[in-house]
Amino acid sequence: MKKIVLITGATSGIGAACARKFAGAGYRVIITGRRAELLTAMAEELEKTFGIEVLPLCFDVRDREAARRAIDSLPAAWRDIDVLVNNAGLALGLESEYAGDFTDWETMIDTNVKGLLYMTRLIVPGMVERLKGHVINIGSVAGDAAYAGGAVYCATKAAVKALSDGLRIDLAHTPVRVTTLKPGLVETNFSNVRFHGDTQRASNVYKGIEPLTGDDIADVALYAAQAPAHVQIAEVLILATHQASGSVICRE
């Protein structure tokens, strides 16, 4: 039986790249997201391109009961999830912490932290019971140190690292592995979302540097998942060549 991967936030960016990468490696893929039409299109693309089975699940990871219903609805043939990629996440706004938007804060915390916890709680017990599985959490270089205007987003990604480390400790007595990927500048729709659709402002984020792509991060995720069973890729920091940290970027 082919392995099963579940990827949250799979309709764009790093999530979509992971869906394609794992599908190309022969995994059966469960893709999740909030927009049914995008999930349907992604499922059709993956099935047509890679000839694998795809199961779309439409729900918002911020909604604990919706997440529970979605996982409970999985057919028996899809329940034994081998790899969970907690990818759903976002940044909103770049205001000072004392001037930030309450709704933006709540959306980031509910998605980046609570959504990751919900999915972990719903899926990892099955991995422990089956004595196999792998959790790959998409963190960020932003979780290593705060930068101006990004305090809340940075805090959520610092939480991803802490939650990943804690889960790895809690699972050390089992064969279940935990990996944290910490990308730097990745050119997706991330900045467009952050700036609430201001495309010009978003494009300036990547000006003067060749950023990473979603495929670059998906390559590392698949490598970690396919490492030998005794190898746990605990944490990987992935930066563009001319990026040294979350705030040090050399632009042409």
Q: Which CATH number fits the domain that encloses residue 156? A: 3.40.50.720
Grouping H, G, I as helix, E, B as strand and the rest as coil, residue 22 is helix
Look at residue 249 and tell me if it is in a domain: no
For 142-169, write each residue's pLDDT tens digit.
Answer: 999 999 999 999 999 999 999 999 999 9
Q: How far apart are the first and last CA of the chain?
A: 49
Give the pair of three-digit tokens for residue 101: 């938007």
Look at residue 76 and tell me if it is in a domain: yes
pLDDT of residue 104: 97
CA 177 – CA 83 distance, rounded (Å): 9
Active-site entry in 98, 118, 153, 223: 153
Which 8-state DSSP code applies to residue 15? H
Q: How many CB atoms lie within 10 A of CB 118?
A: 22
Q: Describe the crossing of helices 116-130 and 64-72 by its angle, rounded to 10 degrees.
A: 30
Look at residue 234 and tell me if it is in a domain: yes
pTM (2 d.p.): 0.96
Low-confidence ranges of the chain (pLDDT < 50): none
Look at residue 251 and tell me if it is in a domain: no
Catalytic residue list contains 27: no
The residue assigned the tokens 């790249």 is: 17
Look at residue 246 and tell me if it is in a domain: no
pLDDT of residue 197: 85
For 51-91, write each residue's pLDDT tens digit.
Answer: 999 999 999 999 999 999 999 999 999 999 999 999 999 99
Q: Are strands 235-238 and 177-183 parallel, antiparallel or unpaired?
A: parallel
CA 184 – CA 124 distance, rounded (Å): 27
Look at residue 252 and tell me if it is in a domain: no
Look at residue 122 and tell me if it is in a domain: yes
Judge contact between 214 and 87, C-beta under 8 A.
no
Range of the domain at 115: 4-238
pLDDT of residue 151: 97
> How many domains would you assign to the chain?
1
Look at residue 202 and tell me if it is in a domain: yes
pLDDT of residue 200: 86
